Amino acid sequence: MIEHGAEHIVINVKPDYVGSTETSLFDTSVVSSNKLGDYNDLLAELCNLKQKNAQLQIKVDETRFKCESKDQCALVLAKELNTLEAGYARQREHNSQLLYRVLSLQGNIQVCCRIRPITAAELKKKNRKGKFLRPAVAQQSETEVICYNSKDKHSEYLKTFNFDKAWGPNEQQEQVFQDIEPLAASVVEGFNTCILAYGQSGSGKTFTMEGSPEEKQQGITPRMIKKVFQLIALKKQKLNLEAEESKEESKGEESSESQTFDSTIQVGILEIYNEQLRDLLNPRDLGKDADSASGKTRLNICRNEAGNITVQNLSRRTIHCPEEMLSLLEQAKEQRSKATTALNKDSSRSHMVIDVHVSSGTANQQNNAHLFLVDLAGSERMY
């Protein structure tokens, strides 16, 4: 009988078979030795598998711990992000209140002056005495401009003019916009705003307001529209965060529905030329109120039901991004009256008024405001 132990094998042979055959005992010993070798191999392999299993279990535990830690970190980061966003929204609200205080202190009407650089052609020009021309205007400070006596270059400056802001000839479009950028916040908050450019022909009014297609050379109009879209997006984000917080507190949907944010931006562009109004976005429109002589829709300046001044029959376009505004500007520029001057072959001969109506808010609070961007004609004949 063969008894199996944990690590060895004992062979017991009955006495009846001891002296019978030696060969049978030898064969039994050989077979038992082979089985012992196989068992040891299996036992070693089993031990290795147990060790590998233990190592894998350790890795599984470590991975599970890491995942749980990452989930906890993600929750902590999400809470921190919400806190930062809420703080950012509160800071912007505080900045808006400070802006209103600054504007109230400065006054509702501000007058700024921008001095354009001298052109290469002007540098080559000479006066009647054969002397080269020199600038007649220079920036004295951020709010002062001096005008020199053009008759005597050695004389002191003729006069000093004070403005709310003065920009020198070396200041770029972006620097000019930075000083009037806060007005975009006023529009989004529901305050009517008007920005107009006034000056002689060739003084750079159209360049200041419209600029050129290059992003760095864009004027006030495209930059202001882009800023309005950015502020509306931030306002929407703020209200959405407040709605989520109130929803978590009340665990209902009623508060979130009342906080649904909507916004609409509509643009109308008209031209005033020879005391006539022209719709630059629809100049050849025929309608019931069409002027029989010109075949164009008659535009009337009047007051609406709310008592605000508006232009009746002026076509308006709804825009959803700043790029659509640029497209409308190009369309309006093609229709605007122009003439060739000594400084500009496409000098504007008319007043162009851009009316941007901004409506944004929730069902409980809706803000409506008009942003007027005006590029006036040359002021040579205005005294």
d(CA 352, CA 337) in angstroms, rounded, equals: 10
pTM over 0.75: no
* pLDDT over 90 percentage in the chain: 27
Taking only the tens place, the pLDDT of each residue in 32-47 is 555 566 667 777 777 7
Amino acid at 184: A
Which residues, other chains included, contact 218 with Cβ-Cβ below 8 Å and sequence gap of 6+? 173, 211, 212
Taking only the tens place, the pLDDT of each residue in 324-375 is 999 999 988 888 876 545 445 455 678 999 999 999 988 788 889 999 999 9
Q: To which residue do tokens 């008209």 refer? A: 270
| pLDDT for res 122 | 79
Rg over alpha carbons for the chain, rounded to the nearest Å, is 42
Of 186, 261, 267, nearest in space to 222 by CA: 267
Of 223, 227, 221, nearest in space to 184 by CA: 227
359-366 CB contacts, 8 Å cutoff, 24+ apart: 359/263, 359/264, 359/265, 360/188, 360/232, 360/235, 360/261, 360/262, 360/263, 360/264, 361/261, 361/262, 361/263, 362/239, 362/258, 362/259, 362/260, 362/261, 362/262, 363/258, 363/260, 364/258, 364/259
| pLDDT for res 296 | 56
Taking only the tens place, the pLDDT of each residue in 228-237 is 999 999 888 8
Structure confidence at residue 209 as a pLDDT band (50, 70, 90): very high
Overall average pLDDT of the 173-194 stretch: 90
| pLDDT for res 320 | 94
Q: For residue 361, what is the enclosing H or E element?
A: strand 351-361
Q: For residue 162, what is the enclosing H or E element?
A: strand 159-162
Overall average pLDDT of the 239-268 stretch: 72
Residue 5 has pLDDT above 80, yes or no: no
Write the burial class of residue 191 (CB in 10 Å: 0-12 exposed, 13-18 middle, 19+ buried). middle
Q: For residue 160, what is the enclosing H or E element?
A: strand 159-162
| pLDDT for res 11 | 36
CA 382 from chain center: how many Å?
40
Taking only the tens place, the pLDDT of each residue in 149-171 is 656 555 555 788 999 999 999 99
Structure confidence at residue 16 as a pLDDT band (50, 70, 90): very low
Which tops the pLDDT comparison, 216 or 101? 216
